[in-house]
Amino acid sequence: MTDTNHSVALAFEDGVTRFINVAPGQTVADASYRARINIPLDCRDGACGTCKAFCESGKYDGGDYIEDALTDDEADAGYCLPCQMTPESDLVLRISGTAEMAKSGVGQFTATIEKLHWYADNTAGLTLVVEDREKLAYLPGQYMNVKVPGTDEERSYSFSSGPDAGKLTFLVRTAPDGVMTTYLKERAAEGDTLTLEGPKGSFFLRDVKRPVLMLAGGTGIAPQLAMLEKLKDSAESGDAPGFPIHLAYGATWDKDLVEVEVLERYAAAIPGFTFDTIVADAGSEHPKKGYVTQHLLPEHLNDGDVDVYLCGPPAMVDAVRRYFDGEGIVPANFYYERFAVGVNAPALAGAAA
The pLDDT of 76-96, averaged and rounded, is: 96
Does the structure show a pLDDT above 70 at 342?
no
CATH code, domain carrying 307 = 3.40.50.80
Same domain, 165 and 238: no
Does the structure show a pLDDT above 80 at 2?
no
Q: Is 328 inside a domain boundary? A: yes
Q: Is 191 inside a domain boundary? A: yes
The per-residue pLDDT for range 28-69, each reduced to its tens digit, is: 999 999 999 999 999 889 999 999 999 999 999 999 999 999
User: What are the Cα distances from residue 170, in Å, to 95, 130, 144, 159?
Assistant: 27, 13, 10, 5
Q: Is 137 inside a domain boundary? A: yes
Q: How many domains does the chain fold into?
A: 3
Q: Is 349 inside a domain boundary? A: no
Same domain, 254 and 192: no
pLDDT at site 338? 87
pLDDT at site 100? 86
Same domain, 156 and 239: no
Q: 237 φ, ψ to 5°?
A: -90, 10
Same domain, 256 and 155: no
Same domain, 22 and 139: no
* CB of 273 closer than 8 Å to CB of 212: no
Q: What is the pTM of this model?
A: 0.89
pLDDT at site 345? 40
Please, which residues have CB within 8 angstroms of residue 343's CB and are 6 or more apart in sequence?
Answer: 352
The per-residue pLDDT for range 269-298, each reduced to its tens digit, is: 999 999 999 999 999 999 999 999 999 999
